[in-house]
């Protein structure tokens, strides 16, 4: 006969009910993180979409498998634009990490995390989907568990911050604006669309200008062909002035969808490079970067010193360490930042400080334009 547990005293190593709840909650969330991490490792979704948006959605679900945040609320919480949030949501939806259902008459959308549903139902025995199969739904499982994965192979370890890529992978995350093709959601796994259903292109100057700039997707071209020609040309000129962009057509699409052409047409530098001619040789006419710097190095160092003296060390290291002064005119200063996330954040938070820095060092009122400039 087995003696009662009280005869030998309570087991001090036994988990309490609250501890079991915390452990189960952590394992449930870690399982969802591992699915997203695997797709980020395979480059099926961008690192930013996984690290910022997907993990935030999983946290918002808490003990449920769904949440309903609004786009404006997510943009404010993550410190980025609504357009970026929409692009990340498209990536996560196409990869099968989330499902979205608009709420009738509401400003929010019901967002469901299939991984949390699968974990709760213990339906995690289905083999992983092969890369050439269509996106069929939430019944996918990670090929490896966090416990069996070597630490150096973890791209983003759940709840442990950012880890390094494997040695044979690129060390720099590509430009986040890299998807210009919209994937329609698959209704059934048995449906395979082999025939080309692309709509015919509408021949007009806007279409010719977009094709000359490198856009080939007819759906995107037909979406943008109603934009004013001068705004499209201003966006193309702006993108051509950026250096080391991984996907210029993707940046053109993002700017056009966010109606940035009107603001660029009013920019003091919108007259540069002249009008863009819609011709097959237009991509070869991109303005070359001069071999000699346009800015006195001493002036650039004084501007950086002005900023560093007025910023906290962590803010300087995160947002300003890779900042470069590219050009200075009589009333205008062009500042290069590493990526579009840094550009959007600095325009919203630190643009007045940049204007004060240029005005104080140069002794005259300066306007500031932030451009993407990632040194190779």
User: Cα separation of 201 and 60, whole Å?
Assistant: 42
Q: Is 330 a domain residue?
A: yes
Q: Is 161 a domain residue?
A: no
Domain that holds residue 345: 297-372
User: Cα separation of 47 and 156, whole Å?
Assistant: 9
Is the same domain home to 220 and 306?
no
Is the same domain home to 280 and 308?
no
Is the same domain home to 29 and 123?
yes
User: Residue 351's Cα: distance from chain center in Å?
Assistant: 22
pLDDT surpassing 50 at residue 157: no
What total number of domains does the chain contain? 3
Least confident of 87-96, 139-148, 213-222: 139-148
pTM of the predicted model as reported, rounded to 2 decimal places: 0.32
pLDDT surpassing 80 at residue 164: no
Mean predicted confidence (pLDDT) in 80-100: 91
Is the same domain home to 243 and 272?
yes
Q: Is 179 a domain residue?
A: no
Band of pLDDT at residue 91, cut at 50, 70 and 90 = very high
Using DSSP bridges, classify how beta strands 109-112 and 324-328 pair: parallel, antiparallel or unpaired. Answer: unpaired
Domain boundary among 237, 255, 285: 285
Nearest alpha carbon to residue 176 among 270, 330, 334, 49:
49
pLDDT at 20: 54
Q: Is 367 exposed, middle or buried (0-12, 13-18, 19+ CB in 10 A)?
A: middle
Q: Is 9 a domain residue?
A: no
Residue-by-residue DSSP string for 41-58: HTTSS-HHIIIIIIHHHH
Mean predicted confidence (pLDDT) in 211-234: 84
Using DSSP bridges, classify how beta strands 109-112 and 66-67 pair: parallel, antiparallel or unpaired. Answer: antiparallel
pLDDT at 143: 47
Is the CB of residue 363 less than 8 Å from the CB of residue 329? no
Question: In angstroms, how far apart are the furthest CA atoms of the chain?
Answer: 94
Is the same domain home to 219 and 248?
yes
User: Cα separation of 294 and 241, whole Å?
Assistant: 14
Is the same domain home to 117 and 137?
yes
User: Cα separation of 87 and 84, whole Å?
Assistant: 5
Is the same domain home to 22 and 146?
yes
Nearest alpha carbon to residue 70 among 96, 102, 36, 113:
102
Mean predicted confidence (pLDDT) in 39-60: 89
């Amino acid at each position: 006969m087995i003696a009662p547990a009280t005869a030998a005293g309570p087991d001090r190593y036994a988990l309490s009910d609250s501890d079991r709840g915390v452990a189960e909650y952590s394992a449930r969330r870690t399982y969802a993180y591992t699915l997203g991490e695997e797709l980020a490792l395979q480059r099926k979704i961008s690192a930013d979409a996984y690290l910022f948006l997907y993990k935030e959605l999983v946290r918002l679900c808490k003990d449920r498998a769904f949440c309903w945040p609004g786009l404006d609320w997510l943009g404010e919480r993550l410190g980025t634009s609504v357009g970026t949030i929409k692009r990340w949501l498209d990536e996560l939806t196409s990869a099968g990490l989330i499902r979205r259902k608009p709420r009738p008459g509401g400003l929010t959308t019901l967002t469901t995390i299939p991984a949390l549903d699968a974990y709760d139902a213990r339906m995690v025995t289905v083999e992983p989907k092969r890369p050439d199969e269509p996106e069929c739904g939430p019944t996918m499982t990670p090929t490896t568990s966090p416990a069996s994965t070597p630490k150096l192979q973890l791209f983003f370890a759940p709840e442990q911050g950012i880890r390094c890529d494997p040695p044979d992978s690129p060390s720099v995350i590509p430009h986040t604006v890299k998807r210009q093709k919209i994937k329609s959601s698959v209704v059934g796994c048995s449906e395979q669309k082999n025939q080309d259903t692309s709509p015919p292109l509408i021949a007009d100057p806007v279409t010719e200008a977009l094709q000359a700039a490198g856009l080939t997707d007819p759906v995107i071209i037909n979406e943008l062909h109603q934009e004013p020609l001068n705004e499209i040309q201003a966006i193309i000129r702006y993108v051509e002035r950026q250096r080391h962009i991984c996907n210029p057509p993707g940046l053109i699409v993002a700017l056009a969808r966010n109606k940035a052409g009107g603001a660029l047409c009013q920019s003091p530098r919108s007259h540069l490079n002249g009008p863009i001619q819609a011709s097959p040789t237009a991509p070869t006419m991109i303005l070359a970067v001069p071999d000699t710097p346009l800015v006195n190095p001493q002036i650039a160092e004084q501007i950086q010193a002005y900023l560093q003296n007025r910023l906290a060390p962590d803010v300087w290291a995160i947002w300003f360490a890779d900042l470069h002064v590219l050009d200075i005119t009589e009333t205008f200063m062009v500042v290069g930042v590493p990526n579009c996330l840094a550009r959007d954040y600095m325009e919203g938070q630190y643009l007045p400080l940049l204007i004060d820095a240029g005005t104080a060092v140069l002794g005259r009122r300066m306007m500031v334009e932030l451009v993407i400039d990632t040194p190779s």
